[in-house]
Amino acid sequence: MTNITEFSSRQQTPVKFRRFESMLSGFFTAGRDSRMIAYAQADAEEWMSHNMHIEVISINTTCTRLMACVTVWYREPPQNADQAAP
């Protein structure tokens, strides 16, 4: 059985996240909610298209009465030791 501490120490790069939020004013309707989600998702997709080097682990979408939030959990590639050496 793998110890959680051992597993995390073997990870080459830490897991990070980037959050994209969208807020709209107006009546609370399904259409308004879906637009908020679509705007936050579009921002996340644009960011990911400019950061194609990342490894996306998970994408979560949450919508409340006031805002929609898309969170992209990702890992950056490990630094190549040969390139880091002078």
| Model confidence at 21: pLDDT above 90 | yes
Of 72 and 78, the one with more pLDDT? 72
Domain-wise residue ranges, the chain: 12-79
CA distance 44 to 47: 5
> Residues with Cβ < 8 Å from 13, sequence gap 6 or more?
75, 76, 77, 78
Give the tens place of pLDDT for each residue, 34-57.
999 999 999 999 999 999 999 999
Sign of the dihedral through C-alpha 51, 52, 54, 56: positive
